[in-house]
Amino acid sequence: NAGVTQTPKFQVLKTGQSMTLQCAQDMNHNSMYWYRQDPGMGLRLIYYSASEGTTDKGEVPNGYNVSRLNKREFSLRLESAAPSQTSVYFCASSDPTGGGQPQHFGDGTRLSIL
Amino acid sequence: GEDVEQSLFLSVREGDSSVINCTYTDSSSTYLYWYKQEPGAGLQLLTYIFSNMDMKQDQRLTVLLNKKDKHLSLRIADTQTGDSAIYFCAERRSGGYQKVTFGTGTKLQVIP
């Protein structure tokens, strides 16, 4: 009963390096999300995927790309990392019943850009 | 403004009630949520309330909604040390699933 699994849990990058954050859910959910969490701020949506093959920009998409590889997996890519992207990144999923809000979160990836 | 506002910190004694407050911004918000985040973990959806409700109770949790003042509160009865966490309120604004806006979080400290 894994829920939402994110890898890696921690990562340090140098400015300009690229990296992909991985996320997988085993609950057969259609919707998946990527958020970032910064000190003193609420979670901000980076990208959203309503179903396999579809993605939409959220509030802060600049500098990121996403891939919804299949129903289970939703990856987030930083093509050229910048110090402003230092943050904790959370992947989440939801099913369409209930309020349509993100329901299940991974434990996060703590990313530092030097 | 665009912000969902919460106080930063609340400290209560074990066994007392905790009340965490939130002010949201969009009068057309359809759903309002409370999430809990324990250290080193992701958010956990605790409860939500439809905007046409005034109150929702779920075991030790009571959610009160004042639509006129755009004020949401979460009351935790008989607060336990395991309730120590950061609590986020969030509103779902018109525009679809992705339009969920989170507050900055209230850190609840429970003193034994």
Instruction: Yes or no: say if B33 and B92 are a contact pair by the CB < 8 Å rule.
Output: yes
For residue B3, the model assigns a pLDDT of 76
Residue from the list A50, A94, A107 with its beta carbon closest to the beta carbon of B42: A107
> Are the beta carbons of A45 and B31 separated by less than 8 Å?
no
Please write the tens of the pLDDT for every residue from B78-93.
999 999 999 999 988 7
Determine, for residues B4 and A42 on separate chains, whether the beta-carbon distance falls below 8 Å: yes
Measured over the CA atoms of residue A101, residue B88, residue B46 and residue A91, the dihedral's sign is positive
pLDDT at residue number B99: 72
Residues of B whose CB is below 8 A from A94: 97
pLDDT in tens, chain A (114 residues): 579 999 999 999 999 999 999 999 999 999 999 999 998 788 999 999 988 989 999 989 999 999 998 999 999 999 999 999 999 999 999 887 655 678 899 999 999 999
Q: Do B45 and A56 touch (CB under 8 A)?
A: no
Instruction: Note the pLDDT tens digit of each residue in B95-110.
Output: 655 578 899 999 999 9
| Cβ pair A101:B97 closer than 8 A | yes
Q: What is the pLDDT of residue A47?
A: 94
Q: Are B99 and B91 in contact (CB under 8 A)?
A: no
Q: For residue range B4-61, list pLDDT tens digits in order.
A: 899 999 999 999 999 999 998 877 778 899 999 999 889 999 999 988 889 999 999 9
Which residues of chain B does A45 touch, with a Cβ-Cβ cutoff of 8 Å? 98, 100
Q: Which residues of B touch A95 (CB under 8 A)?
A: none
d(CA A46, CA A35): 5
| Pairwise CA distance, residues A59 & A110, whole Å | 20
**Residues of chain B contacting residue A31, judged by C-beta atoms under 8 Å apart:** 97
Residues of chain B by 3-state class (helix, strand, coil), percent to 5: 5, 55, 45
Determine whether the interchain pair B97/A4 forms a contact, defined as Cβ–Cβ distance below 8 Å: no
What's the gap in Å between the CA of B78 and the closest CA on chain A? 25
pLDDT of residue B1: 40
End-to-end CA distance of chain B: 38
pLDDT at site B2: 56
